[in-house]
Amino acid sequence: MTALTHPLLEACGVRHGFGTRDVPTSAQILRPKQVHGCLVAEIAATGKPHPTEADAIVASRASTPGSTIGVVTADCVPILLATPRGEWVAAIHAGWRGLAKGVIAAALQRLASEGVQLKELRCVIGPHIGPCCYEVDALVYDAMQEAFGDSAATAFEVTRPGHWKVALGQLVQRSLHFAGVSPEHIGELPDTCTCCHSEVFHSYRRDGEASGRLVHFIQVPEP
C-alpha cells in the first residue's frame, strides 16, 4: 500500500502522504526528534531541523523549495498543512501531551507570524488511534479539561469509573478551529484507526515496544 493522500492538499499542489506499514522512512524527509512537547522547528541553513527536538515543523517555498518535512506516529495524530498555493507547509505530531501543551496553536502561530492567513490553511488529520480503542485514565482527562475546558466533554465517553474513551481527532479539530482555521478547510481520512487496522498501520497501543512507526510527509513545491 502506498502513502495515503487527501484532496484538500492535492488541490494545493503539494506532494504529501500519510504513512502505512508499507511506506518506509527516508533520509530525505527532514523531521525533528519528537518529545511530546510544543516546540516548532524550521529548516536551518545546515539543512536540518532547528531546534532538533520539536513536535511540529514548518517550511516555506521562499527559503527551502523542494524540501520534504514530516513527523512519525504510532497512534498519535499527524496533521499535514499547506497554504492554498503551497507557499508554506507544516507537519505536526499531536499526542495527548502535545495537545494539552498547545502544539497545534504553537505551529499555527509560527505560520501566522510569517503572514499566513490561518483561515485559508488547508489541514488534514491523518491516521491515529480512534475512540473505539483508546481508553484513558484521569491523567489524560484532567489534562484535556484544563486545555480545552468544557468543550472537551463531547470528546470523552465514560467506560468505567475513572476511565474514558477519547476521540483525539475531535480535539485536534477543535484546536485547529480555535486557532482560526475554517472548518471547511479541515479534512480527515475516514476509517483509519491505527489500532483497529493491524494490516495497514502500526500501533503502540496494540503492539507495545514492538510497534513500528508511520511516516507522514509533505513537500514544499519548487518555484
52: cell is: 532538533
Residue type, 194: T
Residue 38 in domain: yes
Q: Which domain holds residue 105?
A: 7-129+172-219
pLDDT in tens, 102-129: 999 999 999 999 999 999 999 999 999 9
| Side-chain-facing half-sphere of 44: CA atoms under 13 Å | 10
Residue 33 in domain: yes
Taking the C-alpha atoms of residue 167 and residue 101, their distance in angstroms, rounded to an integer, is: 17
Q: What is the CATH number of the domain that holds 32?
A: 3.60.140.10
pLDDT in tens, 132-184: 999 999 999 999 999 999 999 999 999 999 999 999 999 999 999 999 999 99
Q: Which residues contact 192 (CB under 8 A, 6 or more apart)?
A: 4, 18, 126, 127, 128, 200, 201
Q: State the DSSP H helix or E strand holding residue 160, giving kind and residue range, or none if neither.
A: strand 156-160
Q: Does 1 have pLDDT greater than 70?
A: no
**Are 136 and 166 in contact, with CB atoms under 8 Å apart?**
yes
Residue 123 in domain: yes
> Helix, strand or coil for residue 138?
helix
Q: For cell 492538499, what's the residue?
A: 9
If one counts the domains in the chain, the total is 1
Is the pTM above the cut of 0.95?
yes
Which 8-state DSSP code applies to residue 75?
A: S
